[in-house]
């Protein structure tokens, strides 16, 4: 049975305000009185900015240029006020998060405004950030996951880090043009969660966003359905990923429950769940040389799978409650969904978590098994 505190977290929603403005930008503000910090997140969608093999990495480079701020030292200025900023380029969107103590919310909002009105890119800045990205790529430890995405989706599953050769060859005019499209109002969503009162924040966001000129961009390019398969990786370990549909499908709730149930039987396994408006992956991975993850999943019999049903459902509800009780992860889940499709809501997934049938759960577990799943294994590692 779901713990009472988790159930209450799902049922009692904090105060919220959200709106799509006339220029197609969007904001969402929620108040979590017990939170100790304010999470302010800018999400940029990919409308008219979907990457291809020919542009692979320019969005990541744009992220690095934007987060520098007008003077190249936005991070340092925020830190002097007790705030922190980090940015993340995902396959379906870009995220910029400023974490601020409640007393510095106004300063954090001024930094957000700076992100929305960047200075033009310079070749010097591009060269500097390209070298930093080289180091990120060299130290990246998610090759298992990236290999699975590319097997499942081909060019629409390209890793978000990018191709170093393309990044180094990018010139300012190309990057400025891309940033202009990324900052089209239809691509802009701002999410704020924390202890501060809602209306002053909402008023500030309306003032900040409403004056931006609407720029025509193409509709969001939904990712087509993927295919199962097998990939090899330079990493140790193994990844098992199930093909997942949109966030509002009942099957997606069942897959989340199945993944968490399987994780509970695989010590050290990490869950990767990035909600999608169309098609994506939900996966588990281990980086041990002798993982055994795939053997465990394929070896589950019918009775063992049925036994996991209540475990998975309870874990999924508790996991979701924990995510939404945290300002940062609440904004992450809501922002990633809105960046793809403003009409979709995390609340639909919550409702579906309350009605997962045993049949749907069993079918979801099967999607992690050989033949239906995407498997990525370290070179020389058998599964």
With 80 as the cut, is the pLDDT of residue 263 above it?
A: yes
The sign one gets for the Cα dihedral 249, 253, 254, 256 is: positive
Please state whether 284 falls in left (phi above 0), alpha (psi between -120 and 50) or beta. Answer: beta
With 90 as the cut, is the pLDDT of residue 348 above it?
A: yes
Across 153-169, average pLDDT: 96
Across 269-278, average pLDDT: 94
With 90 as the cut, is the pLDDT of residue 242 above it?
A: yes
Residue 12's pLDDT is: 42
Q: Residue ranges per domain, the chain? A: 9-210, 229-378
Domains 9-210 and 229-378 share a fold: yes
Main-chain dihedrals φ then ψ at residue 312, nearest 5 degrees: -65, -40
Which pLDDT band, with edges at 50, 70 and 90, does 289 fall under? low
- Which among 211-220, 283-292, 315-324 has the top mean pLDDT? 315-324
Residue 235's pLDDT is: 78
Residue 153's pLDDT is: 97
Report the b/e string of 305-329 with b at 16+ CB within 10 A: beebbebbbbbbbbbbbebbbebbe
Based on its alpha-carbon atoms, the radius of gyration of the chain, rounded to whole angstroms, reads 21
Residue 140's pLDDT is: 77
**Paired residues of 87 in beta bridges:** 96
Higher pLDDT, 291 or 316: 316
Q: What is the pLDDT of residues 168-181, one digit of tens each?
A: 999 999 999 999 99
Distance CA 311, CA 2 (A): 10
Q: What is the pLDDT of residues 19-36, one digit of tens each?
A: 999 999 999 999 999 999
Which pLDDT band, with edges at 50, 70 and 90, does 9 fall under? very low
The edge-to-edge listing of strands for the beta sheet with 229-233 is 229-233, 374-378, 238-244, 280-286, 270-273
Residue 233's pLDDT is: 82
| 339 within 8 A of 277, measured Cβ to Cβ | no
Residue 354's pLDDT is: 96
Span 229-378 CATH architecture? 2-Layer Sandwich (3.30)
Residue 335: C-alpha distances to residues 14, 162, 188, 217, 345 (Å): 17, 22, 10, 19, 10
Residue 382's pLDDT is: 47
Which pLDDT band, with edges at 50, 70 and 90, does 1 fall under? very low
Q: What is the pLDDT of residues 67-116, one digit of tens each?
A: 999 999 999 999 999 999 999 999 999 999 999 999 999 999 999 999 99
Main-chain dihedrals φ then ψ at residue 32, nearest 5 degrees: -120, 90
pTM comes to 0.93
Q: Which stretch of DSSP H or E encloses residue 143?
A: helix 143-153
CATH of the domain spanning 9-210: 3.30.830.10
**Paired residues of 284 in beta bridges:** 240, 271
- Short-list 246, 339, 337, CA closest to 45: 339
Across 329-346, average pLDDT: 97
Enter the DSSP assignment of 187. G
Percent of the chain exceeding pLDDT 70 equals 95
């Amino acid at each position: 049975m779901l713990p009472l505190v988790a159930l209450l977290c799902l049922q009692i929603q904090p105060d919220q305000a959200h709106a799509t403005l006339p220029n197609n930008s969007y904001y969402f503000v929620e108040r979590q009185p017990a939170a100790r910090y304010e999470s302010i997140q800018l999400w940029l969608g990919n409308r008219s900015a979907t990457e291809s093999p020919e542009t692979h990495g320019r969005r990541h480079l744009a992220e690095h240029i934007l987060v520098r701020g007008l003077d190249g030292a936005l991070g340092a200025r925020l830190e002097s006020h007790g705030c922190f900023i980090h940015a993340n380029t995902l396959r379906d969107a870009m995220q910029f998060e400023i974490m601020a103590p409640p007393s510095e919310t106004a300063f954090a909002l001024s930094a957000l405004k700076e992100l929305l009105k960047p200075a033009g890119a310079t070749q010097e800045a591009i060269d500097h950030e390209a070298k930093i990205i080289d180091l990120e790529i060299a130290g990246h430890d998610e090759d298992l996951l990236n290999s699975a995405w590319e097997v499942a989706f081909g060019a629409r599953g390209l890793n978000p880090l990018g191709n170093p050769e393309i990044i180094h060859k990018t010139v300012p005019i190309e990057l400025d043009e891309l940033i202009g499209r990324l900052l089209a109002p239809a691509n802009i969503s701002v999410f704020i969660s924390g202890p501060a009162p809602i209306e002053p924040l909402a008023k500030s966001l309306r003032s900040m966003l409403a004056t931006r000129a609407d720029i025509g961009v193409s509709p969001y390019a939904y990712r087509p359905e993927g295919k199962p398969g097998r990939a090899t990786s330079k990493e140790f370990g193994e990844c098992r990923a199930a093909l997942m549909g949109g966030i509002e499908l009942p099957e997606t709730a069942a897959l989340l429950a199945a993944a968490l149930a399987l994780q509970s039987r695989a010590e050290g396994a990490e869950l990767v769940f990035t909600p999608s408006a169309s098609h994506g992956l939900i996966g588990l991975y281990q980086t041990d040389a002798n993982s055994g993850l795939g053997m465990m999943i394929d070896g589950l019999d019918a009775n063992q799978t049925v036994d996991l049903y209540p475990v998975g459902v309870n874990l999924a509800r508790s996991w979701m409650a924990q995510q939404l009780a945290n300002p940062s992860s609440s904004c992450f889940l809501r922002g990633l969904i809105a960046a793809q499709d403003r009409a979709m809501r995390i609340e639909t997934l919550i409702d579906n978590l309350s009605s997962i049938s045993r049949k749907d759960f069993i079918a979801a577990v099967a999607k992690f098994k050989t033949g239906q799943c995407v498997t990525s294994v370290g070179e020389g590692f058998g599964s």
